[in-house]
Amino acid sequence: MNVIIFGPPGAGKGTQAEFIVKKFNLFKLSTGDLLRNEIKKKTLLGVQITTIVNSGSLVSDEIINSLIENIISNKDYKNRMIFDGYPRNLSQAINLNKILLKHEQKPDLVIRLKVSLDVIKKRVTGRTVCSKCGKTYNEFFNPPKEDSICCKKEFLTKRDDDNIDVATKRFETYEKSTEPVLNFYNKMNLVKDVNGEADIDVIYREISSFLNIIEGWLYIITPYNYFFKTYTQ
């Protein structure tokens, strides 16, 4: 099955995606990871991406789509992907459907983690990282233990962009850009809303229940639905 997970920055998409990958043996497809991998390998495309990023510009949809198709066309990942952070806009969603259809696949489920701006602000501004061991905490929801030997207050650091203004802007950008994308997938009856403010384990169990149903459904019917074509033409 192919799963898409949505949620504003700070909603916990990455955490849930990692859980899902392990339980359902999926491949996590993150555009950020793909871009960083090209840069790390110093390919021709990686050099081009580095130049774009260093100039402060956004990497084009054309480059992103090319990287995405390289993964989708790989038979090792066929019908076992979770998309984290992609698609970000309607154009990318339409293109993703076309690429999936080209390789005889489709999206099976879209998970939307619903989190309020107030909670996002606390998650972002409260985030701290131990400079010694790298473990992440949150002063509001998950502070380090008082008797911690390593993660003492003097070793906790914050990222420069973990502030209210940045968190608010990212949230508003997410809401604006993903609304038409979610409407697109709602027309295909693929979207399932999950309370992203619940405990991590509760969120994981709810998502798993959806995936178990999809997995069983795909087992008894052909995985290639004719109706899917109508959304890609």
Catalytic residues: 13, 88, 127, 159, 170
- Residue (of 88, 41, 86) closest to 50 by Cα position: 41
DSSP 74: -
C-alpha pair distances (Å), 47 with each of 35, 38, 53, 179: 10, 8, 10, 33
Distance, CA of 122 to CA of 89 (rounded, Å): 26
User: How many CA atoms, within 13 angstroms, populate the side-chain half-sphere of residue 163?
Assistant: 4
Instruction: Please name the amino acid found at residue 223.
Output: P
Single-letter code of the amino acid located at 207 = I
Q: How many CA atoms lie within 13 A of 15 on its CB side?
A: 14
The candidate with the shortest Cα–Cα distance to 228, out of 185, 167, 194, 192, is 185
Neighbours of 98 (CB within 10 A): 14
Whole-angstrom distance, CA of residue 59 vs CA of residue 37? 14
Q: Which residue has the tokens 């973990």?
A: 162
